[in-house]
Amino acid sequence: MVAKPEHAAKPAPVLRCGRFTFDLARPLVMGILNVTPDSFSDGGRYLDRERALAHARQMRDDGADLIDIGGESSRPGALPVAEEDELARVMPLVAALATEGIAIAVDTRKPAVMREAVAAGAAMINDIAALTAPGAIEACAGVDVGVCLMHMQREPQTMQAAPSYDDVVVEVRDFLAARAAACVDAGIARERIALDPGFGFGKTLAHNLRLLRSLGTLAAMGYPVVAGLSRKGSLGEITGRSVDERMPASLAAALCAVLHGAAIVRVHDVRATVDALKVWAAVEGGA
Ligand code: 9MG
């Protein structure tokens, strides 16, 4: 009898987030819902609760696997938000949408917000600071929430002032490996961890492009890689387009990210991204 090749026996990898288990055989789409007055793309648009809920449901209907809700802007130059303000912006949406069976990620750096979000049914904590705040790892350990650990050089207020690396890929990879190890040591299961190079967070266009081409190096660590390029400044630098005109560039960037190894793309334009990925999957599936 001919032995099966080893890869044929391996189940497709999964990402476990609360009550959701995502099959990573196809790329996942994470829709962005910023509930902030000052986010770079949709700042102020979803401060009205009903409007925010309607947008989240629309992204779900358009094919988003997860909705990422954030109450503190992380755009370059953004100022920190008080805990009570962040909770007031985010929690009613998390509670309502989680009850409707939608997989919710909460984009926060604050352990208190993490704890409340998990208690309200959030499936994932998306932390641009990779759970480095005191108490953040503890807030996510011992519960079944998924975590997205992102790399950022410095803080949003200062991160785009002359970012510099000896080797951006090596430094981002080593940082993410260390953060994943800290999470595993604290009891967070490997299957609950995703890693993100943090496009635009303390990176020039050249850094972002090198990281994009090197996503395979990050994916080789064995964790799903999240790529967030949607409408970001680097796409404006390449195309000369304003934030509102960056959808085509964002689709191209999402496809490039998937081709280079991203398992999850974090996007504003869910419907268009889902369509683009369907075309890619049809082509690749037939190969
Ligand atoms: C909150 N936020 C803004 N950009 C992001 C990105 O690229 N990745 C992740 N995980 N979160 C982000």
How many other C-beta atoms are found inside a 10 Å radius of the C-beta of residue 25? 11
Instruction: Determine the Cα–Cα distance for residues 264 and 41; give it in Å rounded to an integer.
Output: 20
Q: Nearest CA to 27 among 213, 268, 267? A: 267
- Token look-up 């796409």 returns 235
Catalytic residue among 192, 203, 232, 246: 232
**pLDDT score at 268:** 98
**At residue 287, does pLDDT exceed 70?**
no
Each residue's pLDDT tens digit, 60-90: 999 999 999 999 999 888 889 999 999 999 9
Structure tokens at 71: 């109450």
Q: Nearest CA to 232 among 254, 210, 259, 216? A: 254
**Across the chain, what does the average pLDDT equal?**
94
**pLDDT score at 12:** 66
Upper half-sphere CA count for residue 41 (Cβ side, 13 Å): 21
Structure tokens at 218: 């990050």
- Judged on CB neighbours under 10 Å (0-12, 13-18, 19+), 222 is exposed
Q: In the structure, which protein residues have their CB atom closer than 6 angstroms to any atom of ligand 1?
A: 70, 74, 107, 126, 128, 148, 150, 196, 198-199, 226, 228, 266
**At residue 4, does pLDDT exceed 50?**
no
**Per-residue confidence band for 286, with pLDDT thresholds at 50, 70 and 90:** low
**Per-residue confidence band for 155, with pLDDT thresholds at 50, 70 and 90:** confident
